[in-house]
A and B are shown apart, each in its own frame.
Chain A
Amino acid sequence: MRYALRRLGFFVLTLWVALTLNFLLPRLMPGNPALAMMGKFHGELTPQSLNALEILFGVDTHASLGSQYISYLHQVVTGNFGTSLDYYPASVSSVIGSAIWWTFGLVGVSTVLAFILGTGLGIVAAWRRGGRLDSVLPPVFVIASAMPYFWVGMVLVLVFGISLHWLPYVGGYNVTGDTPAFTLHFIGDVLSHSILPALSLLITTIGTWILTMRNTMITTLAEDYVRMARAKGLPGWRIMIDYAARNAILPNLTGFAMSLGFVVSGAILIEYVFNYPGVGFMLLQAVQGEDYPLMQALFLLITVAVLVAILIADIATALLDPRTRAAS
């Protein structure tokens, strides 16, 4: 319990830091970058909307930094992120809603697949130490983990999309041909558009799972209780899964939490390459269109999502591994 509370406290602290960063950044840059953007908005927004944006970016307000900060926090907590410039006159919160599901689906599915396949392969590689799998996998995936995400995406586009015409490589679904609806046709369309992006994400993230699982498995396999199990004559499969893997997988979970930041970066770049209409693509478009309200809100959203995932992973580790609870 104490462990969970401590992690929750850390979560709140990090969230506060992210919010404060968001508040400070536009004000720290030489010549407030939002000034020019605000000039565009003048005359088009209601005074309340204009005020909301001024609070977010510190433009034209004569209030002290402290009171600006309080108003900013209050605004953010009530979910008011201002009006979007790109999607004018829609509010930022209404615009984000459409993109979240796409990223959630893409990242969620590829991460789960990467976890399952990667952990599985790591276990097998460690079990057969010195075997062909073990000597081939590590260098291959060391190299794979150093490849830029977007490059893997581009290669897949070139091979499967352009040369072979097997799979679509632009967008989340066929915009002119389909209207979003719960038909089998639409779902099939969405799935076919998601294969290449998910594959890119899978290829670049699976390496970590395999390698860390293999490394921790190797260390675990050297432990006494595993030797004991072997001496008892238990079948190999059983030892591998019930004894070794169960314990080796836990450090993997903490690794997962830390690698989430990189998975997010990868998702942003892959969405860009495939024009996949998720949160990452929307962030980059907001940057290109200088839609700072939207950009700020997306940054906060991504940070919160990563924090929540890490919190869940931490609590899961604590629940599954009594050693962590005892150690804290």
Chain B
Amino acid sequence: MRRLIRYGVIVAAGLLAAACSSSSPGGGTGGGGGASGANSVLTISNENGALWTCGFNPFNGSDTLVSVGFVYEPLVYVNPLQNGATTPMLASSWTWGPGNKSLVFNIRQGVKFTDGTPLTAADVAYTFNMLKKYPAMDLTGVWSVLSSVTQTGTYQVTMQFSTAAVPWFYYIADQTPIVPEHIWSAISNPVAYPDSHPVGTGPYEVNPCTAANITYTANPHFWQPGEPHVHTLKYPAFTSNNTANDELANGQAQWGAQYIPGIQAFYTSKSTAFHYWFPPVLNVSLVPNLTNPLLSNVKVRQAMAYAINRPQVSSIGESGYEPAANQAGIVTPTYTSWLDTSQLAQDGNYAYNPAKAKQLLAEAGYHMGSNGIMVNSAGKQLSFTVINIGDYSDWLASMQVIVQNLKAVGIQVSPENLTNTDYDADLFPGNFQLAYVEQETIGPGPYYELNDWLNSADTAPIGKTAATNYERYSNAATEALLNQYASTTSTATQHSIVDQLEQVMLTQVPFIPVTEGVDWYQYDTAAFSGWPTPGDPYAQPPVWAYPDNEQVLLHLKPR
């Protein structure tokens, strides 16, 4: 017995000693923001849910976020937060040909890959033609609008379009990283090529990569002299949200892309240098299946749009992180310059108005049933199911508010909280009555999201997979507007078309935007300056947004 006690005491003493000697929970050795330029270390906090595979193939969907912007660059940087303001990168200038059927890029001279080989137009042409040869690598589908890409000079590339596609400039110039021909032409199967030691033109090199952490060091041959100012980046692999959030809260990581509940209490209260900004980029919408006989009645949809208390969903469901959306479908303040406020005002701004909702339902032939649900003369009740992603607790909470709002006007909605895969399996083929949806791709203007929703090319019959137009909307007049937009470079025409698209949203209510989805972004100004802020939105701030992340990295300076 005494021996046992003795051993127990020794073990306890050892534990205590270890606890005292190791890093305290608050501070930490290494990983913190470094001091001078040569020693500056920036640590990133972005929970990816898995360990790193150490593959950097920029055309592999799972690897893009760690390779593009760090190692690889596009031709032009287009800023979605500043209405598509452009910054020439690997292309120094460009011109549209007659009728916007062709596009000529002049490639920047004096750029070298990390192995010393100079960049020429041959690399650009090779990259695009490789995407044509291997459609699995064409992540944005540029070859659906391109007909040819040819090198027309040592530093000049000409692209021919098969159809009017001016908005596709974003995907071609901004979203396509340029890879070196002399390396990729030797790869027999570039689709599966891991690219563990990537050679690119970007500001950083991978040095080294382990399953738990990627370290990037500054590229000494980078074509912008003096850049980048931050010498080392650390990108740990976080498998759980809590750990990633914790690293931000104790200052060990400085650049976050995390959803943090109760962010003031959890994060910003810990230090005056901790800040966050959530720029809105896409709508999170209640989407009706327009083939449903009850939902095909526009008055029912309008009633729903008036019945939902968007500010309440925003403050309760999203803790105020995601602002209320508007029925015109324009994300504000990001695209405020596109919003036609007078049109919106004509419909009372579609502001929360349960009385108006009930009135619209009455006009549609519904009256309140004895069970509190609206019913029409044929005996059909306004009772629907809505599919939602069970993993997103903020969407669950938002849906609870929406359900309560709709119940108050007699529309019963029962949520089906599904796993991600089940949700997709129901959403894509149109196996739903209502759905809570946020689109996936951002663009430098409201056209991109509206096009995803309203273009009949992106829909499919019930039972087949729709690309982005899940509600099965199809209207010839709207189609003509979208095509017209695609063929013009005149901003005046573009604005006029978007105004008409807003009118479509207000009168036809193809879907109901509820809140505005945001980019999660946290930053620590103690050791680094030059962060994107609401006053200076020079790029989309999250680390996974490419190639915006490169712009952030080029702006950052150690203090």
Contacts and interface: CB of A to CB of B under 8 A. Distances in A.
The reply to whether A and B meet directly (CB within 8 Å) is: yes
B66 to A, nearest CB: 15
A40 B1 contact: no
A265 interface: no
Contact of B53 (A35, A89, A169): A89
Nearest to B17: A188
A87 B50 CA distance: 5
Contacts of B31: 176-177
Contacts of B238: 175
Interface string A143-179: 0000000000000000001000111111100111111
Given A36-B422, A175-B212, A187 B252 contact: no
Contact of B25 (A37, A161, A188, A285): A161
Given A86-B49, A179-B213, A290-B421, A174 B23 contact: yes
A176 B421 contact: no
Contacts of A116: 4, 8
A39 B1 contact: no
B425 interface: yes
B96 to A, nearest CB: 36
B19 interface: yes
Nearest to B418: A36
A189 interface: yes
Contacts, number: 113
A192 B27 CA distance: 14
Interface string B233-259: 010101110110011000011000000
B22 interface: yes
B1 A188 contact: no
Interface in A50-99: 86-90
A116 B7 CA distance: 10
B227 to A, nearest CB: 25
A191 B243 contact: no
B159 to A, nearest CB: 28
Contact of A37 (B51, B210, B421): B421
Given A117-B8, A176-B236, A36 B28 contact: no
B62 to A, nearest CB: 7
Contact of B22 (A39, A180, A189, A241): A189
A131 interface: no
Given A176-B28, A177-B28, A290-B420, A171 B18 contact: no
A288 interface: yes
B29 A88 contact: no
B19 A174 contact: no
A213 to B, nearest CB: 13
Contacts of A175: 212-213, 236, 238, 243, 247
B175 interface: no
Nearest to A274: B242
Nearest to B252: A176
Given A175-B236, A277-B239, A165 B18 contact: no
Nearest to A191: B18
A237 interface: yes
Given A36-B422, A176-B28, A191 B19 contact: yes
A184 B420 CA distance: 42
A172 to B, nearest CB: 9
B15 interface: yes
B247 A189 contact: no
A192 B22 contact: yes
Interface in B17-42: 18-19, 21-26, 28-31
B41 to A, nearest CB: 10
Given A176-B43, A177-B29, A195 B234 contact: no
Contacts of B253: 176
A39 B18 CA distance: 48
A285 B4 CA distance: 39
A99 B136 CA distance: 34
A281 B247 CA distance: 19
Nearest to B247: A176
A50 B421 CA distance: 18
A40 B425 CA distance: 10
Interface in B23-82: 23-26, 28-31, 43, 45, 49-51, 53, 62
B239 A285 contact: yes
A113 B12 CA distance: 11
Contacts of A184: 21
Contacts of A277: 239
Contacts of B8: 113, 116-117
B391 interface: yes
26 contacts: A36-B421, A40-B421, A86-B50, A87-B51, A88-B62, A120-B1, A171-B246, A174-B23, A175-B238, A175-B247, A176-B45, A176-B234, A176-B236, A176-B247, A176-B253, A177-B31, A177-B252, A178-B23, A189-B23, A191-B15, A192-B22, A192-B23, A195-B15, A275-B243, A290-B419, A290-B420
Given A170-B243, A195-B19, 19 more contacts: A36-B419, A36-B421, A39-B421, A116-B4, A171-B243, A171-B246, A176-B30, A176-B252, A177-B30, A178-B30, A185-B22, A185-B23, A188-B18, A188-B22, A189-B23, A192-B18, A192-B23, A290-B419, A290-B421
Top 3 A-B pairs, shortest CB-CB distance: A188-B22, A176-B31, A36-B421
